């Protein structure tokens, strides 16, 4: 009797060790990735930011939001390592986004992004109004000084939207590790704002009034008339202001003060 040829079953080739290693590496990378929630009220900008972060492989965007309420809900549910927040979120009753969020989640680590804004700007709401007309000065929530304001409100890092992406990545890494990271403009403005003596105000009350008018480009004579003080007294105050901020003339002082209004908020 002729024997039937037995066909041996083919064995599945062993899984590539290299492929298995790559999969383990991806899982490990994802497990160690910095978890981020992105908050921006502009959908296209938000999507662009998310796409940029996800290209690195070291960040995982776990949530996104378009307003303060959504941001609080997302961060409460997802417990991200870092909230990347652009300072254009609509809030309630004109409350700034960061104070509203930190009131609910005080331990949340926030990186604030912004750029020059247009609402409540220094030109439309000059700082001298605080003293000369009794109208309280609301610090600009969307302006050249907004990142200094964000830092004083508790943001651990600040960055201009025009910054290099590598700076954004560095800032996120720092915040995720519990470290502060401020862009140079914010850092210098904060240094001026806190003064040189244990965090006390940089200027006296009268110097603050004079500095506010210098920021508006007022001459010594105009300042004298506005404040009802003599010309020599104005000149003395101007000298003290220049000495304290380390600048040689009032033009440079005016530019510095105009670009850093938080100096005048103390």
Identify the pLDDT of residue 102: 93
d(C-alpha 258, C-alpha 120), whole Å: 14
Identify the pLDDT of residue 193: 53
DSSP 117: -
The more confidently predicted of residues 65 and 255 is 65
Identify the pLDDT of residue 22: 43
H helix and E strand count, the chain: 12, 6
The more confidently predicted of residues 158 and 10 is 158
d(C-alpha 154, C-alpha 148), whole Å: 10
- Is the alpha carbon torsion for 190, 191, 193, 198 positive or negative? positive
Helix orientation angle between 43-54 and 165-176, rounded to the nearest 10 degrees? 80
Identify the pLDDT of residue 97: 87
pLDDT-based confidence at 2, cuts 50/70/90?
Answer: very low
Considering only CA atoms, which of 174, 187, 104 is closest in space to residue 147? 187
Give CATH 1.10.10.10 domain extents, the chain.
205-265
The answer to whether 151 and 99 have CB atoms below 8 angstroms apart is no
Highest mean pLDDT among 43-57, 80-94, 123-137, 185-199 belongs to 43-57
CATH 1.10.10.10 fits 205-265, yes or no: yes
Chain-centre distance for alpha carbon 129: 26
Average pLDDT for residues 72-78, to the nearest whole number?
Answer: 97
Q: Please, what is the average pLDDT of the chain?
A: 77
Average pLDDT for residues 37-53, to the nearest whole number?
Answer: 94
The answer to whether 41 and 71 have CB atoms below 8 angstroms apart is no
Instruction: Note the CATH number of domain 25-119+139-194.
Output: 3.40.50.2300
Identify the pLDDT of residue 5: 44
CA atoms within 13 A on the CB side of 77: 11
Give CATH 3.40.50.2300 domain extents, the chain.
25-119+139-194
Instruction: Indicate whether 135 pLDDT > 60.
Output: no
126: left (phi over 0), alpha (psi -120 to 50) or beta: beta
d(C-alpha 2, C-alpha 29), whole Å: 60
Mean pLDDT lowest among 89-103, 201-215, 222-236: 89-103
């Amino acid at each position: 009797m002729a024997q039937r040829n037995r066909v041996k079953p083919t064995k599945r080739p062993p899984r590539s060790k290299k492929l298995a290693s790559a999969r383990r590496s991806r899982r490990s990378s994802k497990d160690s990735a910095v978890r981020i929630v992105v908050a921006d009220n502009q959908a296209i900008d938000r999507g662009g930011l998310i796409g940029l972060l996800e290209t690195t492989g070291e960040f995982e965007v776990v949530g996104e939001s378009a307003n303060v309420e959504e941001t609080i809900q997302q961060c409460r549910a997802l417990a991200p390592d870092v909230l990347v927040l652009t300072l254009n979120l609509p809030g309630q009753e004109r409350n700034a986004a960061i104070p509203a969020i930190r009131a609910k989640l005080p331990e949340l680590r926030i990186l604030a992004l912004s750029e020059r804004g247009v609402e409540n700007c220094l030109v439309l709401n000059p700082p001298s109004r605080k003293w000369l007309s009794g109208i309280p000065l609301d610090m600009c929530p969307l302006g050249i000084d907004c990142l200094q304001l964000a830092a004083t409100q508790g943001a651990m890092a600040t960055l201009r939207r025009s910054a290099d992406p590598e700076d954004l990545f560095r800032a996120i890494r720092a915040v995720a590790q519990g470290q502060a990271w401020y862009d140079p403009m914010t850092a210098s403005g904060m240094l001026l704002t806190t003064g040189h003596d244990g965090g006390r105000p940089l200027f006296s009350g009268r110097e603050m009034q004079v500095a506010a008018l210098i920021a508006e480009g007022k001459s010594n004579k105009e300042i004298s008339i506005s404040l009802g003080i003599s010309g020599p007294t104005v000149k003395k105050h101007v000298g003290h202001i220049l000495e304290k901020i380390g600048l040689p003339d009032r033009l440079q002082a005016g530019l510095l003060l105009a670009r850093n209004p938080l100096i005048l908020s103390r």
